[in-house]
Amino acid sequence: SAPALTATQRRMLAELGAEGSTCLTPDEAAVLRELSFHTPATPRDTVLFTDPNKDPDDVVAYTIGKQLQVAGFVRLTDVAVTLGNASVREERARLAKGVFNRLQLPDVRVSRGQDYPMSAKQAKDHAKFLQEGQALRAESAEICDNSLQALHERLMQAPQGLSMVVIAGMTDAHALVDAHPALVRERVKSIAIMGGVEPARDADGHVQPDARAYNNATDLDAARGLYRKAQQLQIPLRIVTKEAAYKTAVSPSFYEGLAKSRHSVGRYLEDVQKNALNGLWD
């Protein structure tokens, strides 16, 4: 039979709206058992680069990140928000801060990302901001308006090091490694990127970003700079391709479980998911 839940697992499931469940399926038990083998002695400080409220995936990452923090894997310290012009990035940052506040993670510092070059087509695409996110936004005063300064301060305050996770365009991550290479080399232990790589390496043998991947293409010069600089600084890169990401998409039951909790973030994700599916037929 499936193993009974621990107190921590019950709390995690309750926050995800599945408080009625008392046992794990064999697959769920296997995943949690495998994760438990990798629990660090102390949570790893983590900085996230993100572009919420264009699609639901970023806020899904926030909710999963909350559970990883509860379980002792990470401590999410900072979030840098990109995609769109300054006013759109401000709205995205306000949404991110509002979500973290509602997930009882008020100490996560959210900063608005930097300007980056956009074509006319990109400017239109990057301006997409879902109406469902309006109600979750925090006040502008809660947002840091200088991502580079905020991230530099965080590196200075992290003598044990931190990890960077990039699930959006790479303007801000590249700006950090370009402006403070010595500090980044000393303090950043790994960089995980949802992007992709070209089959061929460059003339120096470095892995190059796949220009077809959305996160790379958002600011391709920054992506190329980040990939190259990280390799020059000998920082481990963990690159997740879109093919791998599609294979690990959360199921509809994930959204249904969140919605059952009646939590405001759960309702937001359910509404966004429904509208995304309806949009396929528009």
From residue 225, alpha-carbon distances to 42, 125, 183, 193, 209 in Å are 31, 23, 17, 13, 9
Give SS3 for 133.
helix
- pLDDT, tens only, 113-140: 999 999 999 999 999 998 888 889 999 9
- The mean pLDDT value for 28-36 works out to 80
DSSP 8-state class, residue 61: H
Q: What percentage of the chain carries pLDDT values higher than 90?
A: 69
User: Helix count (H) and strand count (E) of the chain?
Assistant: 13, 6
263 vs 46, residue with greater confidence? 46
The pLDDT score that the predictor gives to residue 131 is 86
User: CATH says 42-279 is which class?
Assistant: alpha beta
Q: For residue 264, what pLDDT band results from cuts at 50, 70 and 90? A: very high
Q: For residue 275, what pLDDT band results from cuts at 50, 70 and 90? A: confident
- The mean pLDDT value for 230-234 works out to 98
Does residue 13 surpass a pLDDT of 60? no
The pLDDT score that the predictor gives to residue 282 is 47
Count Cα atoms within 13 angstroms, Cβ side, for 36. 9
Amino acid at the residue 251: S
The pLDDT score that the predictor gives to residue 31 is 80
The pLDDT score that the predictor gives to residue 257 is 79
- Tokens of residue 118, six digits: 């956009």
Contact 64, 46 (CB under 8 A): no
- Tokens of residue 91, six digits: 């709205």
Residue 111's nearest CA partner among 150, 138, 83, 77 is 150
| CATH 3.90.245.10 domain locations along the chain | 42-279
Amino acid at the residue 97: K
Which residue's structure tokens are 């709205």?
91
Residue 162's nearest CA partner among 146, 178, 179, 184 is 184
- The mean pLDDT value for 208-218 works out to 96
Count Cα atoms within 13 angstroms, Cβ side, for 270. 17
- pLDDT, tens only, 59-113: 999 999 998 999 899 999 999 999 999 999 999 999 999 999 999 999 999 999 9
- The mean pLDDT value for 41-59 works out to 95
The pLDDT score that the predictor gives to residue 255 is 82
pTM of the model: 0.89
The pLDDT score that the predictor gives to residue 15 is 56
26 vs 97, residue with greater confidence? 97
